[in-house]
Amino acid sequence: MERAPLEYPRKTKLEQTEVICPEGLWVPQAGIQLLQKENPEGWGKLYEMDAARRLVHLLLTTPELEAFSISSHFGTKEPIEQDYLRSKNSVPDFVRGCRRLDSHYDRTAAAYYFVNKSQFEDFLAGRPIVDPSEIRQSGDMRPSYIPPYMQFMLDAVRSLNLSQEKRTGKSVIVEWLKDNWPNDLDGKSDRMIQSMATMLRSPEHKKGGNTSWKE
């Protein structure tokens, strides 16, 4: 079967996921950009496997270039380890741009692979690669990893529109946690749900005032 030539930007199913990663460049696109840089005239005659193989080699030889995965289910960010890049799975996974995850909750769950966009742009432009942690401003202290339980609680904050100004009864939060607990998240129990609901409420909302919102 004749292989189709590379296209840029590549049309994929990534647009159908809910992965949001403004600081990252998806690895199939990064591989194509790398081939464009190294072979401006002939890159279009190459194929996805060539782009993936070249990008994996670059990441192995340039460890300061950040590569990471984003879980489509939890949105958690994890570094891509050098041992994995040396494995036989790395190139096929980079062609797909993701690794499928076992999940009873979501059959389309996957870990999508990215490279640090600003670092990669610096590399292509011949500029030194700067560690993002060295230029992170004091006001931007977002963690690179959010534990699954915390991510679930953040989902509750967004879904219930919890805020300091809005009083939300604990029973409302408890019902939401019970109804939306992910199937692949271990530890569901009444005690866990009650504890989460308590932590999701502002301490001030337990004191005085109109008590119609209480349990």
Candidates 109, 28, 115, 26; CA nearest to 63 is: 115
Kindly state the tokens that stand for 101. Answer: 């995850």
pLDDT category of residue 205 using cuts at 50, 70 and 90: low
- Report percent pLDDT > 70 for the chain: 74
For residues 174 and 69, give the distance between their C-alpha atoms in angstroms, rounded to a whole number. Answer: 31
Residues 6+ apart with CB under 8 A from 190: none
pLDDT in tens, 50-60: 889 999 999 99
Domain ranges of the chain: 13-135, 148-206
The pLDDT score that the predictor gives to residue 119 is 93
**What CA–CA distance (Å, rounded) separates 66 from 47?**
24
Q: Are strands 110-116 and 67-71 parallel, antiparallel or unpaired?
A: antiparallel
